[in-house]
Amino acid sequence: MNEKLEKLNQEIEETEKKLRWAQQEEKRLTHQARALTRKERTHRLCTRAAMLESYLPHPEAITDEQVSLFLKLLFHKDSTRQLMEKVFAGHGTEKEGAE
In the chain, where the domains are located: 1-55, 58-90
pLDDT of residue 92: 61
Q: Which runs of E-coded beta strand occur in the chain?
A: none
Segment (H or E) for 77: none
Q: What does pTM read for this prediction?
A: 0.62
CB-based contact 42:36 (threshold 8 Å): no
Per-residue model confidence as pLDDT tens digits over 54-85: 999 999 999 999 999 999 999 999 999 999 99
CB atoms within 10 A of CB 10: 10
